[in-house]
Structure 1
């Protein structure tokens, strides 16, 4: 069968290879150095749902694979049909698809999207014009368009243009009506170039120096200005005009030696190779978890006992209606705490609860010359103390009292007080005391040598916090809005909820401040706030796309990233002792 239309068989073989490569293709981008020890990661280790830290799939990659599959199926059916020997060669989209795939492999990272349409508004009346871009690369800074037009095709355009010109010359000038003859040099390739330029101007990208249109590359895979017998000078003129527009023109298909092999992302390096640093940076969510009754109290013996631990006994219908607001509030709290204690039970059955996980991960450091130390910010401590004072139970308040260094409590007494009534033995983790950073914001100078992600994380955190700094020229009215609430009463800072940042509504300033300290020192940040971690990753990605990160990282950075975890994610544990005591009291 290979003797039937032999020119199509190489295309079929190449399409099949591309289709197989697309199934496992991952962009060449490092997975963030984040340890995920949450229950979700434990229960979904084999599931794609647990891969939230992996590079997101490139938009358009599935569309490209589907297009390759459809073209491959049509080509195989045609070549497998014995009657096709009597048919003309099949018209196939394979050359275009192959060229796009080669650009995907060769484009500068990171690739933002494939086969994407942009638009611009033109004409009067205004009309929205869609423009296709085959590969959006270099974090959005470069657009690549593939065009497979042949010399024969563009020569046909020229002949048609010539015919219009000849017809107009044959007409009597005094009687000449509308004509299709060109007033300036133009063809389909130039129109495509002008559309790309217009779309780029209408869709600029944010850069460190302001919005700029992306650079544009057009690859003309089958257009040759020096083709014998088809070397019309207007082909070369077309290419020159594209260059004059500011478009980078590449001629011919990419040579095999310049096309990188498809990159298949490793599946299991992150969790097995990442290790915490000997200094651990703690945010507010983990300070709460360290003293929580959920972390220390004996675990329920069954799921039923877990459900009854925080749930008040059923009320008569009249009581529910009379105290609906309080009942609903208690019920929501009970459900949330029950979910957390079930997570703790699952962790114990799997690889350990919070302290078990810390013990297992940090045990190798316990006998090293460098001591294991835990750190947090002054603001995180202040917020922690306010929260525990307001809603903590007796045991939670007792642990909070000795969590930080105190001149009035000896270290041995602090240890005994912290681990009293805990299901873990005293000193299970050398946790005390949690140290406080000396400054509100770490200085950018003098930072140690760190992997690329730590540097990107630090720069992003600083940029977010810079937006929160009040201007020195702020008006008195603006200052009053900070000091007074909407009803005119003076605000009480001790009762204020943490405000979200201007950059991202899912990030609070004190959380970003905590992450900044860890990133600046190159220390692992321990957190139970997955929402904030995801939001920070989005901000890092946005900063990279906008060109705000000076990424001079090399292959050596990959090795460093695989060793030091920048963020270590745990399940949240709320203060629960008060709710457990209330539920127990209502039982009797």
Structure 2
């Protein structure tokens, strides 16, 4: 009889606890996403399904009424230890986006990774890496392993490593200066996995940089065995942060961790916000501030926005929570574009809001308190606590700023056009978050930066993308005769 084999009832109790926590988390994610309208929904289905299947397996094992010794034998094949380690690592993280997701570095089955030829170690048949947890809003990838030191030493022995004094000299030899010159087949599984993560991360950059990599080893201790430490060094050589059992911090309770686990884009906002033209228009639109009748001459886009607003209010649900009490700025070009549209299409109330928003024209010398008072009188929605008017208008000075931006800025300037360049480059160069509902331009910026990459220490523009836009309600000038 295997005295170390787990008791089935104990496993079921642990798995029930795990399953309940995950279901609680999923409920919170669904509620958060419904309210915040996150552009990329959290991919939790695999996690939920795996945990549910594990619980079903254990319950089936119990109901089979096997003799105790046989039941314990089957219980050894349970993946619960791994799932517990994965969930604990998740609770020590933040901004969870996906679980047990594969990322690819060679989708075309050719021999290049983002324009970089595959080296000797990367086998043609292997083109993906499993990431257990995509965290930090996509900026960190986490892999979890419950391999034991005993099993690792066994795997090393199979590869020809010797644990005796004759091998000390060989083991003290410095590792290859380039891990990609080594054959992956000569490495133990966790080293192979670390290298696969590095290749996939390089091919799937976030904001111009490969995601940070963390490998959690829950049953291995660093500084204990020379052979194990050499394996850990090989993993670190690819840029992975290796976290061993003696380095893992305490895991918080779900109640403590939950606010951090949810994707909250407001956590990364700059103190002052750069407001682009699309958000300026959304802030002054009649659609955003109250019930609007749909008239027969309204364009289809305006009709759709009015219907959407009836289902979900843009200001109290999306824009006001993000803006909160942050000071706001906008570029002169964005303000000029808004005013051009206002002068052409705006209703009387929209014109007043535009002047209040920027303290311009007949509201130029009005105090902030009076601006806010008038603003609230023209809206069905209360403003957030500390809401600051007016938005300060600043010259973009792009010609002076572009020289201090990464090289990709020149390419972007040619593609974005003067207005969008002034808006996004101003936020980029000053380190401000740009609030925008211009999804096409935001994706264009992301694509080019990821294609061209950024140097160490460089960062791309930080853009908070609103999932909805609002047009001006339109006066009779839009009527089609």
TM superposition score normalised by structure 2: 0.55
Equivalent residue for 1:217, pick from 203, 206, 215:
215
Seen in structure 2, the aligned counterparts of structure 1 residues 532 and 288 have a Cα distance that, compared at 3 Å, is same
d(CA) in 2 for partners of 1:15 and 1:343? 42
Q: Which of the residues 420, 423, 428 maps onto 1:508?
A: 420
Distance 1:190 1:216, change over 3 A: farther
The 8 Å contact of residues 143 and 215 in structure 2, kept in 1 or not, is answered as yes
Q: Distance in 2 between matches of 1:102 and 1:532?
A: 38
Cα distance, 1:71 vs structure 2: 2.0
> For the residues of structure 1 that align with 2:406 and 2:159, how far apart are their CA atoms?
61
Secondary structure of the corresponding residue to residue 508 of structure 1? helix
d(CA) in 2 for partners of 1:410, 1:49:
39
Partner in structure 2 of residue 232 of structure 1: none
Contact 1:146/1:218 (CA < 8 Å) preserved in 2? Answer: yes
Using the alignment, how far apart are the partners of 2:104 and 2:288 within structure 1? 54
- 1:518 shift after superposition: 10
Is 2:337 aligned against 1:383? yes
Is the counterpart of residue 265 in structure 1 residue 221 in structure 2? no
Contact 1:530 1:569 in 2 (8 A): no
Alignment RMSD (CA, Å): 6.6
- Is residue 64 from structure 1 mapped to residue 42 from structure 2 by the alignment? no
Distance in 2 separating the partners of 1:157 and 1:338: 67
1:307-386 matches, within 5 Å, as 307-308=295-296, 310=297, 334-341=299-306, 346=310, 376-386=330-340
Task: Provide the rounded CA distance (Å) in 1 between the counterparts of 2:85 and 2:291.
Answer: 62
Cα 1:337–1:50 shift into 2, 3 Å: same
Matches of 2:32 and 2:336, distance apart in 1: 39
CA contact (8 A) 2:331 2:393 kept: yes
1:195 aligns with 2:192: yes
Deviation at 1:74, TM superposition (A): 1.6
- Measured after TM superposition, the shift of residue 63 of structure 1 is 2.0
SS in structure 2 at match of 1:258: coil
- The residue number in structure 1 matching 2:34 is 49
Q: 2:185 & 2:273 partners in 1: Cα distance?
A: 61
Q: Aligned pair count?
A: 397
User: Cα 1:19–1:284, aligned 2, differ >3 Å: closer, same or farther?
Assistant: same
TM-score w.r.t. the length of structure 1 is 0.47
Residue correspondence of structure 1 range 147-546 to structure 2 within 5 A: 147-149=146-148, 151=150, 158=157, 190-205=187-202, 217=215, 219=217, 221=219, 236=225, 238-247=227-236, 258-262=250-254, 263-265=257-259, 283-285=276-278, 288=281, 300=293, 306-308=294-296, 310=297, 334-341=299-306, 346=310, 376-388=330-342, 391-392=344-345, 437=393, 439-441=395-397, 467-468=408-409, 500=416, 508-512=420-424, 529=437, 531=439
Mapped contact 2:287–2:470 kept (Cα < 8 A) = no
Report the counterpart of residue 576 of structure 1 in structure 2.
474
Deviation per CA, 1:89-123: give whole Å up to 9, x if none: 213222222233333334x5555654344567657
Deviation at 1:509, TM superposition (A): 2.7
- Residues 424 and 16 of structure 1: CA distance in aligned 2, closer, same or farther (over 3 Å): closer
In the TM superposition, residue 146 of structure 1 has moved relative to its aligned partner by: 0.5
- Structure 1 residues 295 and 99, CA gap change in structure 2 (3 angstroms): closer
Distance across 2 between alignment mates of 1:381 and 1:216? 44
The offset of 1:18, in angstroms, is 1.1
Alignment of 1:33-112 (within 5 A): 48-53=33-38, 56-57=41-42, 59=43, 61-85=44-68, 87-88=70-71, 89-90=73-74, 91-106=77-92, 109=94
Asked whether the 8 Å contact 1:140–1:214 carries over to 2, the reply is yes
1-side partners of 2:351 and 2:158: how far apart?
Answer: 91
CA distance in 1, matches of 2:154, 2:141: 30
Pair 515,76 (structure 1): closer, same or farther in 2 beyond 3 Å: same
Q: 1:339 to 1:261 in 2, by over 3 A?
A: same
Partner of 1:25: 25
| Structure whose alpha-carbon radius of gyration is higher | 1
Structure 2: how far apart are the matches of 1:125 and 1:213? 22
Q: Report the Cα distance in structure 2 between the residues aligned to 1:465 and 1:239, rounded to whole angstroms.
A: 41
Alpha-carbon shift at residue 49 of structure 1 (Å): 3.3
**How far is the alpha carbon of 1:80 from its aligned partner?**
3.2
The gaps in structure 1 that reach 5 residues or longer are: 32-44, 163-185, 227-235, 271-276, 301-305, 311-332, 366-372, 413-422, 445-458, 472-477, 483-498, 551-565
In structure 2, what is the Cα distance between the partners aligned to 1:124 and 1:47? Answer: 40
Cα distance in 2, alignment partners of residues 200 and 244 from structure 1? 16
